[in-house]
Structure 1
Amino acid sequence: MFAENLEQIESLMTNFAIAALFVLIGLAIQDVLKKGNVPKFGRIAVWLVLFLGMLGFIAKGIIQFVLEAQLQ
């Protein structure tokens, strides 16, 4: 059973690792923004870019899931 699902397990673990990386990047950015005394507009711009990157990652996963479902 493990060998049959190895590709799915690898894909899932990669997605979790990338999600954890986004969280760590967000925590680092929050710390830098607080210590750097960044104005509100700058903070909004930084968080918007981070959110759009995460949104692209989620969209990629959804598109990949839909395409793989159609091929089967």
Structure 2
Amino acid sequence: MLQENFELIESIVLNLGLLILFMLMGYAVHDVLSKNDVPKVGRYVTYGVLFLGAAGFIAKGIIQIFWQSSGFN
């Protein structure tokens, strides 16, 4: 295989791993919040923080795509 294929596979596996990680964290947070009767405001704040963490990784990926398409490595 060529080096480009290894890099492509590595980036796909990394992104899928991060997606699975955030899904598991969301499930764990949901489980803890539902077992401890957390008020709605606390749930919204907790899910918001988890979403912002995931959005940071999404923004990083989008910025990286634009950065690489403009010729910078």
Which fold has the larger relative contact order, with Cα–Cα distance below 8 Å and residues 6 or more apart in sequence? 1
Instruction: Give the TM-score taking structure 1 as reference length.
Output: 0.92
Q: Per-residue deviation at 1:27?
A: 0.3
Say what the alpha-carbon RMSD is for the aligned residues.
Answer: 1.4
- Offset from partner CA, 1:34-56 (integer Å, 9 cap, x none): 00110111001000000111111
**Code of the aligned partner of 2:10:** E
Q: What residue in structure 1 maps to residue 19 of structure 2?
A: 19
**Code of the aligned partner of 1:23:** M
Unpaired runs of at least 5, structure 1: none
Q: Per-residue deviation at 1:2?
A: 4.9
Unpaired runs of at least 5, structure 2: none
Instruction: Give the TM-score taking structure 2 as reference length.
Output: 0.90
Partner of 1:44: helix, strand, or coil? helix
1:30 equivalent to 2:40? Answer no
Where do 4+ consecutive residues of structure 1 move more than 4 Å?
none
**Code of the aligned partner of 2:55:** L
